[in-house]
Amino acid sequence: MTSQALDEIKIGGLGASRKRVEDNRFIRGTGNYTDDITLPGMLHMEILRSPLAHARIKSIDTRRAWEVPGVHLVLTGEMMATRNLAWMPTLSYDTQAVLATDKVRFQGQEVACVIADDPYIAKDACELIDVEYEPLPPIVNPTQAQAQGAPLIRDDKENQHDNVIYNWEVGDREGTDRAFEQADVISALQLHYPRSHPSPIECCGSIADFNRSTSKLTVYMTSQAPHIVRAAVALVAEIPEHMIRIISPDIGGGFGNKVPVYPGYVCSILASILLERPVKWIEDKSGNLISTGFARDVYLDGELALRRDGKILAVRMRTDADHGAFFSDAQPSKFKIGLMHSTFAAYDVPVGHIMARGLYTNKAPGGVAYRCSFRVTEAMFFQERMMHAAAEDLGMDQAEFRRINFVRDDDFPHRTPFGFLTDSGQYGECLDVGLKAVGYEDFRARQAAARKEGRLLGLGISTMTEPLGAGNSREYDILGIKMFDSAELRVHMTGKAIVRTGAKTQGQGHETTWAQIVAHELGIPAEDIIVEEGDTDTAPFGMGTYASRSTPVAGAAVAMAARKVRAKARKLAAHLLEVSEEDVEWELGRFYVRSAPDRGVTIQECAMAAYSNMPDGMEPGLENVSYYDPPNLTWPFAAYFVTVEVDPATGVWDVLNMVAVDDCGVRINPMIVEGQIMGGLTEAYAMANMQFQTYDAEGNCVGANYMDYLLPTAWETPGYELHSEIMTPCPHHPIGAKGIGECAAVGGPAAFVNAVMDALSGTGVRNVDMPLLPDRVWQAITTGQDVSGAPPVKTGD
Amino acid sequence: MTTVYDDLSDEESGEVPVSRIKFSINGRKKIAEVEPRLLLSHLIRRGLGLTGTHMGCDTTNCGACTVLVDGRAIKSCTMLAVQADGHAITTVEGLATASELHPLQEGFKEEHGLQCGFCTPGMMLAAKQLLDENPDPTEEDVRWALSGNLCRCTGYQNIVKSVLWAADKLREGQS
């Protein structure tokens, strides 16, 4: 056979570490972020925020603000209320204040807005608004929220008599209780996964542009999910959906922070409608950190029932989640605490039970999935910290304990104790690759030798599989909208093409990788394909980019759209080759006659024929749309290994080595995948080492700017050794890919913490809550006691 | 260029103090009339329309707004425009010539040193000062030189590689 198939790597197909096309504008400084857009006649909006965590608003006097030259509008909750916009629905069936009317419920809550010629003027005028507050006692953690006589935070809600948002449970309570009765050893651990903020460098912002003459509202905004925003605006602002155009231009990082709809967006929209001019709102960093979607802040009470030989018999978890003042997560509606119940999916655990409670506090609202598939970060952190503690309790080797409990390669598909169906993986092989890379046996010997000199070395392991790529639509929806995604592919007559999807890149490189999928399916060189996302007037409906769902869902839709196009191209090829369709074979980029392989036509020739020489009766054109509803989640596996040295005199710990083994199935662009992993590992390191938000007893946010909210720089961040030897394709994804964007941020934190805990083994310390700040580690070493990161409770004065 | 103001019949509105400054931006000489409180980053972004200089944090931490003033990397969100009087400013838009990218720009693309691209201009300019002063830096030198710039996407490893790639290329060009 004389194959004339194209070289897939050369055309930038599957597996090519193709350089990114979007870089061409970013390296020149010609990206187009929301704040870079200037529209004729544009005004600027600034938000006045509450200085108090909990207070009744007695009065708001805006007169002095109105008098500032250049001020066009001052918005308050009272004015919003006249339009029925003082409150808005959240993505989790709660309501959230747009501008406060009755009370402020967290520090930084939006109280009023000023729209002016210039942002400086708007800010000046904000400071001239007089708000009289009557302070109320603040609640800063779930314990206070549940205390007898605790002030009711959400007195705006009918039938809300306490601060509980939900009580949710999953699993088999009785079966779990029975398993615990039969356990040889019960290993218990209490943890707090601290509150964190995704904190992309670019803050949130919008430019609303209501055009009276067309009745059309265009909003440029920092949204990871522009179609969801369009639906939300249609519902909230009562503007017909076809008259709303949401455009997400370039986004300076999202990480889940840019999924929800924020009051600032809504206010800029109303201001533009009232003023009939474009209104730009660009949040400052403090506004972003103290008011927009935070993540985590979950307390765990966890137990494992164990047999003496190391077999896990059951898992039991109780969690309290601090959601802040409004339940404004974006969680699938069936699962109140996201996918927390994906915990222990990598291990063969017969039975388990989880009880989850959500609570209101006087803190910023959120609980967003920060580089995370709906709370899987907490799920996997709790899992791997519990695994570490259990191995210690049993006196077993950390690696061996995990290995004997892994779901085995021949056990798939495997039903987890909480109902998920995992479908593929080579967990033991990944573990082996990592143990070899980190020099496990050698390190243990070095560690023992160092101990004798009083030096504390530690090695931490974290292994996990996580559910990425929501939906399927049977189980996953947000506000009832099913979690599928979409792609549209148009092949022009000269064989060039455009792809549009319902996802929205924020650095993940969709403009590069979606073209690679089409190149793989059709043999059109990737450089001949452009990708466009983020404009709801042109892109097909999709649920956006978060939860590592782009490749599993929108990427699959790209492949399916390309296959539909190829099916039509085959008919065109048969017509051009004057043979029946059954006699036509495909190789990359080309159809040929089975009996005469030299006789063929390229995909480009088929494209030309679609516009110039189609057979009688065939619809012209070569394009298609695919809406893809995945049959299952994808289940990547990861094994992370960290070695550290802890300075016993100061509590400072340094990373000696970090090895990451990721099996995310087929890698479309290995360079981009590795970039995602390294980014995730750094967020994991940040979480373990320094990055957290806490609140003092008055509800003041500590971490309201980058001087207090610490993020690692190039100087602290360790180097990483990445491994991709193990590759288990996803059995149901069209090209065998699995999600990857968040794996390292999900699985990584426990590896760092476990390493430090391993260094402290033998001191009696079972847990130090993240972040493992030097003072916490030092305190643990000095006292031999666990260190909790729970925020302080006001003791009364 | 002209600016039209609303006539608010308000005596105070005419009293916003304005300073006249002269400076150069990417080699071109400019004169501007600015409010004394105007930040240099806002002069660059809004006054000059050069939006490659980004603003991330307002507190001199993130470095997204890094530009060169007389060849030294500074954070333009914490310098007043009036302080730029008499100085030469280089922004990301001044890195490439019409026909050729700066090796740092090439390096960031070659080594996948960026994802969302928001920190990239600041990173490249901080790196430029380093390479101007030290053409053959170690990895540690690069990490230290970039420690005033935050990136949330890449984990820095590829940024460091990008800068080393550019250093190699610049040295090759000189030998």
Predicted pLDDT of residue A301: 96
Phi, psi of A326 (to 5 degrees): -135, 140
**A748 in a structural domain:** yes
Alpha carbon of B74: minimum distance to chain A alpha carbons (Å)? 17
- CA–CA distance, B40 with B60 (Å, rounded to integer): 13
Closest CA to A679 of A551, A506, A534, A554: A506
On whether both A547 and A619 belong to a single domain, the answer is yes
pLDDT above 70 (res B146): yes
From the list B64, B120, B156, the residue facing A717 with the nearest CB is B156
**A311 in a structural domain:** no
On whether both A773 and A677 belong to a single domain, the answer is yes
Helices (H), A92-140: 119-126
For residue A448, what is the domain's CATH number?
Answer: 3.30.365.10
Predicted pLDDT of residue A564: 98
On whether both A636 and A624 belong to a single domain, the answer is no
Interface of A with B in 663-692 (CB under 8 A): 671-672, 674-675, 678-683
On whether both A501 and A532 belong to a single domain, the answer is yes
On whether both A567 and A616 belong to a single domain, the answer is yes
Closest CA to A626 of A682, A558, A579, A578: A558
Is the CB of A541 inside 8 Å of chain B's CB atoms? no
Domains of chain B: 17-94 (3.10.20.30), 103-174 (1.10.150.120)
Is the CB of A167 inside 8 Å of chain B's CB atoms? no
**A236 in a structural domain:** yes
Confidence class for position A796, pLDDT limits 50, 70, 90: very low
Which tens digit of pLDDT belongs to each residue from A556-568?
999 999 999 999 9
On whether both A747 and A607 belong to a single domain, the answer is no
Residue A641, H or E segment: strand A637-646
Q: What is the pairing mode between strands A71-76 and A477-478?
A: unpaired
**Where is pLDDT greater, at A50 or B17?**
A50
- Domain end call among A591, A606, A628: A628
User: Are B56 and A35 within 8 A, CB to CB?
Assistant: no
A45 Cβ contact list (under 8 Å, min separation 6)? A113, A114, A115, A122, A264, A267, A268, A271, A279, A280, A281
pLDDT-above-90 percentage for chain A:
93
What is the value of pTM for the model shown? 0.97
Q: What is the ipTM of this complex?
A: 0.97
Helices (H), chain B: 40-42, 103-110, 120-133, 139-145, 157-174
- Domain end call among A272, A291, A310: A291
The Cβ-side half-sphere exposure at B108, using a 13 Å CA radius, reads 31
On whether both A409 and A492 belong to a single domain, the answer is no
Annotation says A371 is catalytic: yes
On whether both A416 and A457 belong to a single domain, the answer is yes
pLDDT above 60 (res A464): yes
Predicted pLDDT of residue A96: 96
Confidence class for position A47, pLDDT limits 50, 70, 90: very high
**A341 in a structural domain:** no
Closest CA to B48 of B72, B67, B64, B63: B67
On whether both A264 and A409 belong to a single domain, the answer is no
Predicted pLDDT of residue A135: 98
Predicted pLDDT of residue A544: 93
Residues β-bridged to residue A478: A481
Residues in chain B: 175
Confidence class for position B168, pLDDT limits 50, 70, 90: very high
Six token digits for residue A330: 């974006």
Range of weakest confidence among A455-459, A468-472, A582-586, B71-75: A468-472
pLDDT above 80 (res A535): yes
Q: Which residues of B touch A285 (CB under 8 A)?
A: 56-59, 62
Predicted pLDDT of residue A1: 47
Task: Report, as an integer, the average pLDDT of A543-569.
Answer: 96
- With b for 16 or more beta-carbon neighbours within 10 A and e for fewer, the B57-75 pattern comes to bbbbbbbbbbbbbeeebbb
Predicted pLDDT of residue A2: 54
What mean pLDDT value characterizes chain A? Answer: 96
Annotation says A126 is catalytic: no
Instruction: Give yes or no for a contact between A198 and A293, defined as CB atoms under 8 angstroms apart.
Output: yes
**A747 in a structural domain:** yes
Question: Helices (H) and strands (E) in chain B — how many of each?
Answer: 5, 5
Domain count, chain A: 3
Instruction: Give yes or no for a contact between A87 and A263, defined as CB atoms under 8 angstroms apart.
Output: no
Which tens digit of pLDDT belongs to each residue from A425-449?
999 999 999 999 999 999 999 999 9
Residues in chain A: 797
Torsion of CA A674, A676, A677, A678, to 10 degrees: 90
On whether both A118 and A220 belong to a single domain, the answer is yes
Q: Which residues of A touch B106 (CB under 8 A)?
A: 27
**A161 in a structural domain:** no
Measured between alpha carbons, how far apart are the two ends of chain B, in Å? 46
Which tens digit of pLDDT belongs to each residue from A645-686?
999 999 999 999 999 999 999 999 999 999 999 999 999 999
Confidence class for position A333, pLDDT limits 50, 70, 90: confident
| Structural domain that includes position A615 | 23-31+485-628
**A385 in a structural domain:** yes
Which tens digit of pLDDT belongs to each residue from A254-294?
999 999 999 999 999 999 999 999 999 999 999 999 999 99
Task: Report, as an integer, the average pLDDT of A691-720.
Answer: 96
On whether both A643 and A767 belong to a single domain, the answer is yes
On whether both A404 and A263 belong to a single domain, the answer is no
For residue A104, what is the domain's CATH number?
Answer: 3.90.1170.50
- Domain end call among A600, A628, A656: A628
Confidence class for position A547, pLDDT limits 50, 70, 90: confident
Closest CA to A543 of A487, A489, A467: A487
**A306 in a structural domain:** no
Closest CA to A663 of A430, A345, A396: A430
Q: Which residues of A touch B119 (CB under 8 A)?
A: 201
Closest CA to A18 of A578, A642, A491, A515: A515
